[in-house]
């Protein structure tokens, strides 16, 4: 899965939401999150994010903290 991280906090862009083919972005408390069970790992959102906030879970930036936070907030919907 892909995961939204720190740089998204208070970001006002929604370019990622517009390009996601499966609409798996959701509103968190002060940032967007990706639902890990819905993301199809296409990677299309990564270059669209002006804040460079989105990473694959294979990358070191996708820490357990961000993985947990994305799942927690995406599951609320």
Specify the 3-state DSSP secondary structure of 55: strand
Show the site string, 18-57: x = touches ligand SF4 by CB under 6 A, - = not.
Answer: -xx-x-x---------x----xxxxxxx------------
Residue 32 C-beta: closest distance to ligand SF4, Å: 10
> Residue 9 burial (CB < 10 Å; 0-12/13-18/19+)?
middle
Tell me the two tokens of residue 46.
Answer: 């990564």
Q: By CB under 6 A, how many residues form the interface with ligand SF4?
A: 13
Q: Is 62 in the site for ligand SF4 (CB under 6 A)?
A: no
């Amino acid at each position: 899965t892909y995961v939204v991280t720190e740089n998204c906090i208070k970001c006002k862009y929604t370019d990622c939401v517009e390009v996601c083919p499966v609409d798996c972005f959701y509103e968190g408390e002060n940032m967007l999150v990706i639902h890990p069970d819905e993301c199809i790992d296409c990677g299309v959102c990564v270059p669209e994010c002006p804040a460079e906030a989105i990473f694959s879970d294979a990358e070191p930036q996708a820490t357990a903290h961000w993985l947990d936070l994305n799942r927690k907030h995406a599951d609320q919907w």
